[in-house]
Structures are given as C-alpha cells and as structure tokens.
Amino acid sequence: MRCEQTALVLWLSAVAAVAGEAPPAPFASLQAGDALVRLQRDGRFSLVCADRVLVPEARIVVAAPDWKGSGDQAACRVLDGYPRTEDGVFVFRGEIEEPVSKTAWRFEERVAGAEGGIRFIFSIEPLADAKAAEISLFVDLPLDLWRGKKALLWPGAEAVFPEQAPRERHFLSGVARRAVLGVGAERQVTLDFARPTYCTVQDCREFGRPFYQLYPRLFRGGAAARGQKQSLEFTLLPNDKRRYEMVTADYSSTEPLRVGPLKLPAQAVPVFSRFEIGLDVAGTFKTPFDPDEMRVDGHFRAPSGRETVVPAFFSQDFALTVQDGESLLEPRGKPAWRLRFAAVEPGRHSLFVTARDRSGEARSEAVALDATPSADPGYIRVSRGDPRYFAFDSGKPYFAVGENVCTWQHGVADYDTWLPRLGAAGGNYARIWMWGHCFGVEWGRPGQYRLDHAWALDHAMALAEKHGIYVKLCLEAWRGFSGNGSFVAPGALHPYWKQNGGPCDAEMDVFTNPEARRMFRNRLRYVVARWGYSTHILAWEFWNEINCVRGFGPRSQDMIHWSAEMGRYLHETDPWRHLVVNSLGSFEVDDRLWKLPEMDFAQVHGYWHPNHAASKEMAKDMAEFVPHWIGRIGGYGKPALFAEYGLVNDRWGPSPRADEDKEGVHLHNGLWSAAMSGAAGTAMLWWWGNYVDPNDLYYHFAAVARFTDGVPWTTAGFQPAKASADSPQLRVLGLQGKDLVLLWLHNRRHTWWNVVEKQPIPAIEAAKVTLAGLTDGAWDVEWWDTWKGTVTRKETLQAAQGALTLEVKALARDAALKLRRR
C-alpha cells in the first residue's frame, strides 16, 4: 500500500508536468505486480511502475480525413451514468467529436484485471455516415525513459527508440501480435493484442512534445457507415518476461559441410514451370546470404547438352493469418536450403548439387528429371522482329496492360484482392516493390535477410502466375539512410550504413564502395535464385527513381556505372535472362542511362502536380501529356513504357482531385493514349489501393485489353498513323502498318480536368478523319466502345489513291478503331 501511495504522488507530478496543471483525481486504479494502471473518468489511462511513470497518458484519437483535425478522448463528452463498474469491469462510455465534419463517434472502453496484467477492450462507432484518416489509441512514452531501448512489433518489425529526432517521425510500423517496449531490458512492457493489429511508433519532438508514441489502430481509415463498430482489444503486461525472436534472426551455422541425397518431389515437370526441391545441406557460415560464406548451386544438364548453374537459396516457411483485413506472418518449421528451376526445353535433364564453405566443397549424386512439353509461351524478351515491343520466347507478342501495385496497405493478403481483380479484367502487368516495410529482404543487420518478406513475395508471385499477370519487380526504393520514407527505423535498420555496421558513410557510396557493391550483387543472386525461374517476371528493375537517392546530383555518373555493372552481373547470373531496367524520378530522361546496352528498355514517370511547371497545365489533359513523354523516350531503339502516372497534391501525395474523378477519366485517357503512341504497353497508374480498387475502375483495363488482344505488335510494322481530322476538337492518335491500322479518336474537351471542374464538354456532332498512305482497296473497319471494350459497329470502306475517309458522329468522349486490309 505504501508503494502504491508513492507511485500515486509521482504519477500526479508527471501528468501535471505534461499538462501544465494539476490533473483531476483518477476514477480508479488496477494493480498488476508492482505496476498501477490509473483510469480517468473519461477512460484515459496511465501506467506507473515502481517509481517511474512509463505511460503518462493513453487516449483515443479520431483523425479527420487528411489529418485536417482530430478529436481527442481528453475532450470527449462522457455519457450519463458513466463511468461505472459491471461485475468487476470498469466501463467508460462517451462521444468524441471529429472537428472538421462535426461527426460524433461513440466509444466504449472496458477495463478489468487479467493474468499478469490489465485487459482493455475498446470499441467506437460513428453516429452518422463518416470518414476518418484513422482512429488510434495514442500511448505516450517519455523520451528520458525509453530512448535507446528497443521496440518490437512482433514478429515482423523492430527498431530502437532514437536518441536524436529522426527525419522520418514514423520510425516503426507494421502488423503485430504484440507491441513490446524495452525488449530485453529490465522492464519490458507488452501490449498483447487479441488479433493482428496495425501499429505505428513515432517521435513527437518535431511537435515540441518530449515523447515517443505507440499507436495501435482501431480503424485504418476510410469511410464508415453509421453504427459500424471498430475495435481494439489487448492485455497490457507491465512486466513481460517472455523472450522474443525477430524474423531477422541469426542464421549462422557451425555444422560440418555436407550435401545429402536429392529427393525429387516429382519425376516430371512441364517446360517453363517451377520445379522446387528442398535440400539437405549444411555447412559453417556466419550468414547463408553471402556466397563467399556458403555457396549452394544446382547444376542442370539439358538434353541438348546445355549446362545451367542455378543458385539455391535459404528459406523459411510462414503461415499467413488474415483477420479484420490485417495480415500477419508467423514462422513455421525450420529454415533450410531450397532450389528452384524451370526447364526451357523438353526431355531428360540431370541434376546434382554442390555446396561450398571455407572448408571446401561437397557434391551430391546426380538424379534425372524429365521436362514435358507445355503451352506456356516462355519468358518475355525484347522482340527481334520489332525492338520497340516485347515478345515471348514463342514469338507471341506481349503488350503490357496494367498498373502499379507496388506495396501493400494491410499486409500481403491485399494482393489476394488486387491481383485477381486485375487479372479478371484482362490486366497482364503489375509492378511490385521490394522495399523496407514490405517485400524488401535486405533490411536489418548487414548480412541478414527478411525471410518473412521473401515468403510474402512468393505469395504475391504465385497469385500473379495464377491470374496471368507479369511482374516488373523493383528491387530497391530507399532514398536515404535516415528518414528514408520506407516505414522502417531510420538508420538503425539500414544494412549499408556504417552506423548500423554497414560499409558506407553516405548514401551515394552504395554505388562505389566495393563492399556495398558486393552486398548488392549477393542480393541479386538471392533474387535470381528465388524468383528467377518464373516466366511471370517481366523484368528486374533495380531502383525506384534512383536519381532521388540523397546526394545524387554531383555523383550521378556513379549511378550510371553502377547500373551498367549490376546489369551485366544480372545478365550473367540469371540463367533465364530476364529483362533488366532502372527508373528515374518524374519528368527525368537521362540519355546516359537509356543508351546503356544493359538497360533492355526505357521508361518514364510523370504526374499532374498542381505546382510543377512540367505538368500543371499539360497533364490536365492526359491524352496530351502521356504521348509527349513517351515521345521523349521513344528514340533509343528499345521498348518504351510510361511506368508511373496519376494525380498528386503539392507534396506528391494522393490528390483530392482524383476523388472527384470518380469514373477515372485520367486513368482511361492515359491507358489509350499510351497504347496508340507507340509505347510497349499502356501507361501505368499509381494509386491502386486507394483509387482503382475502391472505385472499381478495373473495367478500364478490361476495355483496352480486349482491344489490344491479338494485335500483331511485333510484325505489323507500326508507324504513327497518317491521320488528320477536319475538326480542331478531335484528336487522332494511332498506329499504321501495311495491313492493319489502330486509331483512337478523342474529344479533346473530354479531359479529367474539365470533368472535375464541371466545364461544358460538347460532343463532336460531325467530323471527318482522313487516313493517308494506305494500300488501295477494301478495308474492314471496327468501331469500338473504349469504355466497354465492345465492337459497336462494322463497315467496309474503300481506299483510293492511298487514302480513305472516316465519318465521325456524336463523339462525346472517345472511340477506337481497327482497320484491316482485305
């Protein structure tokens, strides 16, 4: 009792210091060991342990859309009759007003003792249809007590509470079973969640507050219907003694070198399909992700005599749990070596495996594997017939239709929604990032890879393969060692930074430091080993917007040399010779990069930005903007892709103007104008999970996919169409070959800008389009509805003296045409 009184005095002092005035008396307190949880009448709570106030306050916060304001439990209206106790449970009920829309959110909080701790159950619901950026429980953590200690969102993410204010205040995020504070310290405080919960840890010093904050989400944000409840349930364990292993575990080994017998899962596998085998391999190594420490290879000999060496990879299985939309991966079984292979010719293959550590080399006996014929068209290449386009090994053209789906929002299970929906619409392209908070494997201590992220990418790739989608896999995305925007701990988890045991003082040293380049080559080897088998890898993309790496300007030539070196290494290491590319920031075109023979195609990024000179006017009309930038990268004798576009705000975040473009006019016009401007695919929209999917805009991909299906891109001999219109309001874009012409007719007034600005968009009542340079004779013409992907009418026209005329009537938006010579 005496200890409790002492703690109470200290608690009152601490909260008074934070608030600047004496706090009201607590409504109740609960004890767990030497810890006290003190509850205010509005349900806010604090945590006092021995003589320290570990949590001065925890409270619910309701954030308005775009964080334009927030409602706080500290300012709530407590409902009549509350707080009260019900069968030993403290019950709090009140209403929190979101200050922008003035919507009231009613919450309930129930608190009771539990084994080893205190149980909290929160629920909240709007009293009218509402939107919120998020609803979270903000848990204040004083700097002086927590700095330098470790925080863990178990089992997937960890960081150290930073000594200095980081550039990126959100220094740790992820879905967690438990949020563990002070990992391994004398005092370890845990929030043990009833279900997987998304959490963020931030540093509040930029707001002038001497706190870190942990905030688990009750609601990740978006629209909520009246009465739709959001909830959070956890047990607060003030003195958790459990030991937690992170997924970036120490995988070192001191076993003697050996390779056991090979046990094939099947005797036969179709050509171009994945053959996978678990290996009984052991050795002595500090890390299995460095081939100088431990190198395991599969040696395949094809019926033709071709010999292929395929690197093996170290792997861990995981189980995926999805609850309330949140994904959580938990390890299953023991980590081990695996080998993946895809045969490119039918017949009997032989296989043996070698393993080498510093003690020498071991080798397995050879086994036989049969590859059977299949209908798979193979890997995607630059077409030999027309190097502006892509083609499969079989010669079948590949025209990319799709979007960016770079990162998850709630975990890898998001891809179980996005990829099937894209594939069902005829989409055959997606771009995925391997970066800090999702899919990125090389984050944490140098030499240790995130095997949970690797498993997650296995999951996404399996979905892509199932639904006919080819992936441009972006291998890196960070821009700085500290505050890198990758939702990982700044600095502390960057494997290349000298402050974390890496080799580099500055970011651009990654491109010149011999050890850093060796580390990246090791990662390339791992990527090839694990995903190189897949015909559904369209290309390896080294880096998202590589020129945005901090310090790039005066050292840009270092990136050019690095891109060439890594391109050569990938082409040498990848037995299947997937395409290789890099990417630059918006509106950047660099001849030095795109002329490299190691870059198999060229690409560009660009957005409507309200203040950017290159786009604020031109990108109001995506049908002008997209072809302009495709033209800027179309002269390298390589395929050209407009790889990112969309609408952004002045901070390069999602633009509210997109919310006004509900039908996706900017998406639609970008897709069609790219296809008709000589690109090797449609333009690829950004904002997949917060625009395309919630607005169900997949029908735009379906329409263009139906139109482009079966087009002989690599043999038609397309050149820009020789077309002219007699109306200045009518835009004509197209591609013209000897026997086939593709046209897109666009009402220039039908732009996303005019739609959202509610400008008048008169239809083109009558116009004529003249096509020149045609072979005389009959041409069959199909008119397509570009919004439905259907043929609306057919006609046959005669070309005379190399020309024919098309009659356009009542064109409100746009139309597409196919003209085939009889």
How confident is the model over 140-152, as a mean pLDDT?
A: 94
Q: Exposed/middle/buried for 514, CB within 10 Å: 0-12, 13-18, 19+?
A: exposed
Quick one: DSSP state of residue 361?
E
pLDDT exceeds 90 at position 165: no
pLDDT exceeds 50 at position 489: no
pLDDT exceeds 60 at position 603: yes
Closest by CA to 425, choosing from 405, 396, 409, 455, is 405
Dihedral over alpha carbons 631, 632, 638, 644 (to 10 degrees): -90
Res. 171 pLDDT band, cuts 50 70 90: confident
pLDDT exceeds 60 at position 198: yes
Closest by CA to 297, choosing from 339, 329, 239, 357, is 339
pLDDT exceeds 50 at position 766: yes
386-412, pLDDT tens digit by residue?
A: 999 999 999 999 999 999 999 998 889
pLDDT exceeds 60 at position 10: no
Res. 248 pLDDT band, cuts 50 70 90: low
Dihedrals φ, ψ of 403, to 5°?
-160, 170
307-346, pLDDT tens digit by residue?
A: 999 999 999 999 998 877 788 888 899 999 999 999 999 9
Beta carbons within 10 angstroms of residue 782's beta carbon? 15
> What integer pLDDT is reported at residue 362 of this predicted model?
98
Total H helices, total E strands in the chain: 12, 49
Residue 514, both tokens: 């011999």
797-817, pLDDT tens digit by residue?
A: 999 999 999 999 999 999 999
In this predicted structure, which of 63-72, 190-199, 437-446, 625-634 has the lowest mean pLDDT? 437-446
Domain 380-705: give its CATH code: 3.20.20.80
In this predicted structure, which of 183-197, 375-389, 507-521, 803-817 has the lowest mean pLDDT? 183-197
Three-state SS at 810: strand
Domain ranges of the chain: 2-237, 253-372, 380-705, 723-821
Closest by CA to 52, choosing from 142, 174, 155, is 142
Res. 246 pLDDT band, cuts 50 70 90: low
Report d(CA 299, CA 279) in Å as an integer.
Answer: 13
User: Residue 403 pairs with which residues in a beta bridge?
Assistant: 430, 685
338-353, pLDDT tens digit by residue?
A: 999 999 999 999 999 9
Give Cα separations from 647 to 131, 406, 564, 666, 680 (angstroms). Answer: 21, 17, 32, 8, 22
Dihedrals φ, ψ of 353, to 5°?
-120, 140
CB 545 within 8 A of CB 484: no
b/e map of 727-765 (b: 16 or more CB within 10 Å)? bebbbbbbbbbeebbbbbbbbbbbbbbbbbeeeeeeebe
Q: What is the pTM of this model?
A: 0.87
> What integer pLDDT is reported at residue 164 of this predicted model?
87
**What contacts 596, CB < 8 A, 6 or more positions away?**
560, 563, 564, 567
Region of 505 (left: φ > 0; alpha: ψ -120 to 50; beta: rest) is alpha
pLDDT exceeds 60 at position 19: no
Report d(CA 714, CA 388) in Å as an integer.
Answer: 8
CATH 3.30.750.24 fits 253-372, yes or no: no
CB 289 within 8 A of CB 314: yes
665-675 vs 699-708: helix axis angle to the nearest 10? 20
Per the listing, tokens 């109470």 go with 8
pLDDT exceeds 60 at position 757: yes
Report d(CA 332, CA 322) in Å as an integer.
Answer: 16
CATH 1.10.3720.10 fits 723-821, yes or no: no
What is 47-59 written as a DSSP string? EEETTEEEEEEEE
> What integer pLDDT is reported at residue 324 of this predicted model?
76
Name the more confident of 422 and 183.
Answer: 422
Q: Do 253-372 and 723-821 have matching folds? A: yes
Residue 17, both tokens: 């210091």
Res. 209 pLDDT band, cuts 50 70 90: very high
> What integer pLDDT is reported at residue 247 of this predicted model?
54
The proportion of the chain whose per-residue pLDDT surpasses 70, expressed as a percent, equals 95
In this predicted structure, which of 231-240, 498-507, 549-558 has the lowest mean pLDDT? 498-507
How confident is the model over 61-77, as a mean pLDDT?
A: 94
pLDDT exceeds 80 at position 77: yes
Residue 229, both tokens: 């409840």
Residue 443, both tokens: 């984050």
In this predicted structure, which of 62-76, 135-149, 236-250 has the lowest mean pLDDT? 236-250
Identify the H or E element spanning 459: helix 451-466
CB 735 within 8 A of CB 680: no
**What contacts 207, CB < 8 A, 6 or more positions away?**
none
Which amino acid is located at 304 in the chain?
Answer: S
Residue 60, both tokens: 């619910």
pLDDT exceeds 90 at position 175: no
CATH topology of domain 2-237: Beta-galactosidase; Chain A, domain 5 (2.70.98)
569-600, pLDDT tens digit by residue?
A: 999 999 999 999 999 999 999 999 999 999 99
Closest by CA to 527, choosing from 422, 632, 650, 442, is 442
Report d(CA 819, CA 794) in Å as an integer.
Answer: 10
Per the listing, tokens 């290789």 go with 580
pLDDT exceeds 50 at position 484: no
Start-to-end CA distance of the chain, whole Å, equals 98
CB 179 within 8 A of CB 161: no
What is 268-336 written as a DSSP string? EEETTS-EEEEE-EEEEES-TT-TTT-EEEEEEE-TTS-EEEEE-EEEEEEEEEEETTEEEEEEEEEEE
CB 149 within 8 A of CB 187: no
**Average pLDDT of the chain, as a whole number:** 93
Instruction: Respond yes or no on whether the N-terminal peptide bond of residue 23 is cis (omega within 30° of 0).
Output: no
667-713, pLDDT tens digit by residue?
A: 999 999 999 999 999 999 999 999 999 999 999 999 999 999 999 99
Residue 339, both tokens: 């080998």
Identify the H or E element spanning 781: strand 777-785
pLDDT exceeds 90 at position 637: yes
Residue 108, both tokens: 């309930």
pLDDT exceeds 50 at position 629: yes
pLDDT exceeds 70 at position 542: yes
Edge to edge, the sheet with strand 730-736 lists: 719-720, 730-736, 740-747, 814-821, 777-785, 790-799
